[in-house]
């Protein structure tokens, strides 16, 4: 319970019988399709397709300078066919108003997806198809706002995010500077597992990581290889084990045929 007291008192630890190691909590469809999704990432890279980046933006308005810098930096790469950018604004319409103002007349060139049905259809289309340009996603409810990121993860190459809960998902990741101090451990964990970068502590470092991953191939191969190996040893099986604990059953990963 370290750090859970507002006065920084030393608290009693959680009883050992109340703790169970299960692994990362990840959606079933993400875990189940790790091999095929990673293979498609490598195939797109080998075919010289634009690297697909997914940028997630929270509602607190934090790091807007960073998001603006990323979008401005990536736009020439998009025009050159080197990158495709997906920006998920969640269910925060004020972020869309801000983005339009920042982009000015160039906002007309953005591809918008403002419903779950449109987002799902688009993601399904580009799963085996091409994707170009800058795409913005915005929703009218929290569930679609959150799950759209999970759904889009399967069809992108790299997730750009702060090292919070998304740090534990099986997709190659670039980590922006943390917002909360505890988030440092998300980037540390991911870097140790080999499925994401270390924490980028400045805008310049984040842009450098984007350039590197867009231009080179070795990091993408390393991240994808690590994600597949992590699945094999059960790193991403937390949700399965948690359901088993809650229902009084046991769960083991099926042996591939």
Which stretch of DSSP H or E encloses residue 175? strand 173-175
Q: What is the mean pLDDT of residues 235-246?
A: 96
What is the strand order of the sheet 158-161 is part of?
Answer: 111-113, 134-137, 83-88, 51-56, 158-161, 173-175, 196-199
Classify residue 114: in a domain, yes or no: yes
Confidence at residue 257, expressed as pLDDT on a 0 to 100 scale: 67
Is residue 245 domain-resident? no
Tell me how many domains the chain contains.
1
What dihedral angle (degrees, nearest 10) is formed by the CA atoms of 148, 244, 185, 73?
-20
pLDDT in tens, 179-196: 878 889 999 999 999 999
For 65-119, the pLDDT digits (tens) are 888 899 999 999 999 999 999 999 999 888 899 889 988 888 888 999 999 999 9
Residue 152 inside a domain? The answer is yes
Assign residue 118 the CATH number of its domain: 3.40.50.2000
Using H for helix, E for strand and C for coil, what is the string for 14-74? Answer: CCHHHCCCCCCCCCHHHHHCHHHHHHHHHHHHHCCCCEEEEEECCCCCCCHHHHHHHHHHH
Question: 120 in a domain, yes or no?
Answer: yes
119 within some domain: yes
What rounded mean pLDDT belongs to the chain?
93
Domain that holds residue 221: 30-234
Report H helices in the chain. Answer: 28-32, 34-46, 64-79, 93-103, 116-126, 142-153, 184-193, 203-215, 218-232, 238-247
Instruction: Tell me whether residue 218 is in a domain.
Output: yes
CA distance 253 to 235: 11
In which band, very low, low, confident or very high, does the pLDDT at 142 lie, cut at 50, 70 and 90? Answer: very high
Please state, in angstroms and rounded to a whole number, the distance separating the CA atoms of residues 73 and 78.
9
Whether the pLDDT of residue 160 is over 90: the answer is: yes
| 76 within domain boundaries | yes
Rounded to two decimals, the pTM is 0.93
| Whether the predicted pLDDT of 62 surpasses 90 | no
What is the per-residue pLDDT for 200?
95
In a domain, 143, yes or no: yes
* 17-38 tens-digit pLDDT: 999 999 999 999 999 999 999 9
pLDDT value of residue 45: 97
**Alpha-carbon distances, residue 23 vs 74, 75, 168, 170, 221 (angstroms):** 34, 37, 9, 12, 23
């Amino acid at each position: 319970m370290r750090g859970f007291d507002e006065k920084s008192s030393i608290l009693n630890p959680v009883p050992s019988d109340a703790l169970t190691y299960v692994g990362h909590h990840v959606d079933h469809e993400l875990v189940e399709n790790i091999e095929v999704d990673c293979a498609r990432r490598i195939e797109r890279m080998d075919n010289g397709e634009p690297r697909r980046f997914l940028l997630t933006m929270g509602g607190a308005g934090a790091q807007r300078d960073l998001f603006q810098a990323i979008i401005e930096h990536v736009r020439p790469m998009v025009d050159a066919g080197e990158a495709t950018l997906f920006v998920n604004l969640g269910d925060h319409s004020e972020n869309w108003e801000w983005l339009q103002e920042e982009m000015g007349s160039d906002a007309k060139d953005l591809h918008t997806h403002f419903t779950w049905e449109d987002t799902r259809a688009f993601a399904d289309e580009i799963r085996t198809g091409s994707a170009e340009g800058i795409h913005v996603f915005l929703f009218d409810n929290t569930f679609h706002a959150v799950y759209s990121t999970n759904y889009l993860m399967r069809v992108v190459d790299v997730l750009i995010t702060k090292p919070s809960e998304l740090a534990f998902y099986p997709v190659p990741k670039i980590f922006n500077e943390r917002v909360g101090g505890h988030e440092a451990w998300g980037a540390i964990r991911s870097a140790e597992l080999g499925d994401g970068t270390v924490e980028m502590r400045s805008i310049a470092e984040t842009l450098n990581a984007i350039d590197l991953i867009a231009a080179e191939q070795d990091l993408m191969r390393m991240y994808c290889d690590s994600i597949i190996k992590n699945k094999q040893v059960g790193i991403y099986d937390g949700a399965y084990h948690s359901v088993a604990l809650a229902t009084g059953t046991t769960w083991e990963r099926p042996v591939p045929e």
